[in-house]
Amino acid sequence: MVSQLAHNLRSLLSGHSRLGKATKAFAGTVLLTSLVLTGLIVTLRQFGALEEMELDAYDRFVRSRPDEGLDERLLVVGVSEEDIQTRKEFPLHDGTLAEVLEKLLRYQPSAVGIDIGRDVPQGPAAGRARLINLLKESDRISAVCILSSATEPGVPAAPGVPPERIGFADIPQDPDRAIRRIALVSTPTPPSKLIGTPHLCNYADPDNQLLSLSFQLASTYLEPKGIVPEQTESGEIQLGSVVFPPLTENAGGYAKADAPDYQLMLNYRSASSAVRQVSITQVLQGQVDPAWVKDRIILIGYTSQVAKDTFATPYLSSEEATRNMPGVVIHAQATSQILSAVLDGRPLLWYLPEVGEILWIWGWSLVGGIIAFYLRRPLPFLLVCGVALSLCYGLPYLLFLQGGWIPLVPSAIALLMTAAGVGFIDRATKAGYTQAIYEQLREQLVLGGKLGAEQGQKARQADYLEDLVRRARSIRQQSSPTEVLDSHPLEEAPQPQTISTSTSGMKDVDTLYQQIKDQVESDLEREEKEPETTKAQRLAQAKEQRLQNLLARSRSTRTHQEGNLKEHGVSVTPQDSTNAQSDSEVET
């Protein structure tokens, strides 16, 4: 009874020991590798090394998500190439623009935005006076200006437009010139040189907070519904129950976005069918359904390529839109985004805080490390890695459909690099253990050949090789090959003991052992054919290497013994160290 209890206790302690070693091996390999590689990837990301790839992945998500169709609340009246050729007007004359406005106002639109610069008269003076009179009298028309910058003086709005109905037309551009963001509120930057008379859009004062054309039109549309812009305690813009958080410089895949003003990510509806479009010729000829205008937001601007008011978008490389998108359509998309968020509950694009993104990347790094740590066979490893990569792509895409911009590129890189790193470490560890078996087996076979007694050789090798196989199998249950070699030196092989392993694991070890044995025999056969001088040199080098290894092991043992003596309060004199060293050398 007592012996059985002692046996059970030893088994329990042995199980805990194996579990501790496995945990230590996991922490030393997977956790450490994932932390190092995650830190490297995050550092590269912060320096912008991955920004281009992340923005490209963002564009692919935009192109691949379902089209949301027309927003019936908006109508774009475009000045097309056909309009320019038919009327022989470029830029469009003030009188023509005034006539278009008069026809549209008859149908009672909610708001009208003119995305055409009118600071300089175009066409006959009578048309100019007619246009200015309309801009002064109507409270539903908003005109655009261009904000000043350090290098540009800015462009004023048409004369006579009240300041509260002026919206800037500036759109933030990324380094690749694509439009992925919009500005809601901004302040002019002091220009290096003023040209002409100072105006609202180049008056650089912190209190001169101007609204964008899209925000201006959306606010005008929402005001009759009792929804007006408000500011939260943290300084964020709020319309109704919806808060519009400003974009940070490291938002999503950006390393350092140029966002000094109040910006949002532009949540496009569609590549080519976000809003209904008509031409000014259709308006002038009465070919526009009044229902498309009444209580709607109307935007007027150039859609012709000749006006050079077009921009690259995430849709640029898709089949739906092979050309750049007109600026007036981008303003319409931005206006639709604001209205849809406030009235329809359409989500704004959001992203994780920086700490959340780092944890997300590290999580996928751990996934890659765990796969490589537990799956050593190539086929299962590749299959599971493929599934993990699919999830790494699929989860961010599903979240993107809900408005979330989650890191994809760094997560995939972290998964693959950690899987490769852990696999490399595992192979390197196995390679060291295999080399140790190779050298000992080679020495044994050479020794057996020199003795010339075949029967004695077989008897000697049988126990030794059986012990090698036992220890090779036990490597699957140890935390590392070093622990196996340290606990069971090859020079003093203990008696074989029964070890429980899976049939698959035993076959793997048997195969490994047979491969090593075949390699040793092949090398010995090749060396038999070498010239005596070459063989002597190689044997001398091998002997020297073994001597160095033994000396290194002796020094390590001596250092360990001295440390143990010091822990127990026994002083070690220089003479003791010298004697220990001499003994080690003599023993060697």
Which of these three, 351, 380, 402, is where a domain ends? 351
- C-alpha 109/C-alpha 290 separation (Å) is 9
**Is residue 199 domain-shared with residue 180, that is, in the same domain?**
yes
Higher pLDDT among residues 515 and 29, named by residue: 29
- C-alpha 411/C-alpha 553 separation (Å) is 43
Which of these three, 295, 330, 351, is where a domain ends? 351
Residue 250's contacts (CB-CB under 8 Å, 6 or more residues apart) are 46, 256, 257, 354
pLDDT digits (tens, 9 = 90+) for 361-385: 999 999 999 999 889 889 999 999 9
- C-alpha 61/C-alpha 404 separation (Å) is 11
What is the chain's Cα-based Rg?
Answer: 39
Whether pLDDT at 544 is above 70 = yes
Q: Is residue 468 part of a domain?
A: no
**Is residue 165 domain-shared with residue 63, that is, in the same domain?**
yes
Q: Position 459: which residue type?
A: A
- C-alpha 190/C-alpha 192 separation (Å) is 7
Whether pLDDT at 50 is above 50 = yes
Write a three-state SS string for 336-399. Answer: HHHHHHHHHCCCCCEECCHHHHHHHHHHHHHHHHHHHHHCCCHHHHHHHHHHHHHHHHHHHHHH
Q: Is residue 442 part of a domain?
A: no
Quote helix, strand, coil % in the chain, to nearest 5.
55, 10, 30
Beta strand pairing call for 141-145 and 166-168:
parallel
- C-alpha 307/C-alpha 500 separation (Å) is 80
pLDDT of res. 60: 95
pLDDT of res. 453: 46
The answer to whether the beta carbons of residues 151 and 195 sit under 8 Å apart is: no
pLDDT of res. 369: 94
pLDDT of res. 6: 47
- C-alpha 303/C-alpha 408 separation (Å) is 35
pLDDT of res. 518: 72
Whether pLDDT at 7 is above 90 = no
Residue 527's contacts (CB-CB under 8 Å, 6 or more residues apart) are 535, 538
**Is residue 23 domain-shared with residue 125, that is, in the same domain?**
no
Higher pLDDT among residues 301 and 160, named by residue: 301
**Is residue 192 domain-shared with residue 108, that is, in the same domain?**
yes
pLDDT of res. 500: 41
pLDDT of res. 107: 96
In this prediction, residue 30 has a pLDDT band, given cuts at 50, 70 and 90, of confident
pLDDT digits (tens, 9 = 90+) for 403-426: 999 999 999 999 999 999 998 887
In this prediction, residue 497 has a pLDDT band, given cuts at 50, 70 and 90, of very low
- C-alpha 81/C-alpha 76 separation (Å) is 15
**Is residue 158 domain-shared with residue 256, that is, in the same domain?**
yes
Whether pLDDT at 387 is above 70 = yes
pLDDT of res. 566: 62
Nearest to 408 by CA among 75, 62, 1: 62
Whether pLDDT at 88 is above 90 = yes
Residue 504's contacts (CB-CB under 8 Å, 6 or more residues apart) are none
The answer to whether the beta carbons of residues 244 and 63 sit under 8 Å apart is: no
Cα–Cα separations (whole angstroms), residue 75 to 233, 286, 320: 35, 15, 20
Q: How far apart are the first and last CA of the chain?
A: 48
pLDDT of res. 551: 72
**Is residue 236 domain-shared with residue 103, that is, in the same domain?**
yes
- For the chain, the domain total comes to 3
The partner residues of 144 in beta bridges, in order of sequence, read: 167
In this prediction, residue 193 has a pLDDT band, given cuts at 50, 70 and 90, of confident
**Is residue 173 domain-shared with residue 287, that is, in the same domain?**
yes
**Is residue 213 domain-shared with residue 324, that is, in the same domain?**
yes
Q: What pTM value is reported for the model?
A: 0.73
User: Comparing 54-63, 192-201, 212-221, 527-536, which segment has the lowest mean pLDDT?
Assistant: 527-536
Q: Position 281: which residue type?
A: T
pLDDT of res. 425: 82
Whether pLDDT at 321 is above 70 = no
pLDDT digits (tens, 9 = 90+) for 471-496: 555 554 554 444 434 444 444 434 43
pLDDT of res. 577: 47
The partner residues of 301 in beta bridges, in order of sequence, read: 78
Whether pLDDT at 584 is above 50 = no
- C-alpha 458/C-alpha 464 separation (Å) is 10
- Residue identified by tokens 């003795």 is 451
Q: Is residue 489 part of a domain?
A: no
Higher pLDDT among residues 40 and 563, named by residue: 40
Q: Is residue 486 part of a domain?
A: no
- C-alpha 269/C-alpha 336 separation (Å) is 8
Mean pLDDT within 112-121: 96
In this prediction, residue 582 has a pLDDT band, given cuts at 50, 70 and 90, of very low
User: Comparing 28-42, 159-173, 547-561, which segment has the lowest mean pLDDT?
Assistant: 547-561
**Is residue 120 domain-shared with residue 230, that is, in the same domain?**
yes
Whether pLDDT at 14 is above 60 = no
**Is residue 318 domain-shared with residue 253, that is, in the same domain?**
yes
% residues pLDDT > 90 (the chain)? 60
In this prediction, residue 9 has a pLDDT band, given cuts at 50, 70 and 90, of very low
Q: Is residue 312 part of a domain?
A: yes
Higher pLDDT among residues 331 and 473, named by residue: 331
Nearest to 127 by CA among 155, 78, 92: 92
pLDDT digits (tens, 9 = 90+) for 278-320: 999 999 999 999 999 999 999 999 999 999 999 999 998 544 4
The answer to whether the beta carbons of residues 95 and 123 sit under 8 Å apart is: yes
**Is residue 223 domain-shared with residue 119, that is, in the same domain?**
yes
The tokens describing 343, both together, are 């009235």
Q: Is residue 174 part of a domain?
A: yes
Q: Is residue 432 part of a domain?
A: no
- C-alpha 228/C-alpha 239 separation (Å) is 6
Q: What is the mean pLDDT of the chain?
A: 82
In this prediction, residue 197 has a pLDDT band, given cuts at 50, 70 and 90, of confident
pLDDT of res. 575: 46
Cα–Cα separations (whole angstroms), residue 409 to 55, 84, 389, 405, 413: 9, 45, 11, 12, 6
Mean pLDDT within 183-199: 88
Domain span at residue 410 reads 19-56+353-425
The tokens describing 393, both together, are 């792509």
Q: Is residue 34 part of a domain?
A: yes
| 311 dihedral zone (left: phi>0; alpha: psi -120 to 50; beta) | beta
**Is residue 338 domain-shared with residue 195, that is, in the same domain?**
yes
309 φ, ψ to 5°?
Answer: -110, 50
Which of these three, 351, 382, 415, is where a domain ends? 351
Whether pLDDT at 20 is above 80 = no
Read off the DSSP letter of residue 31. Answer: I
What is the crossing angle of helices 354-374 and 378-401, to 10°? 160
pLDDT of res. 129: 96
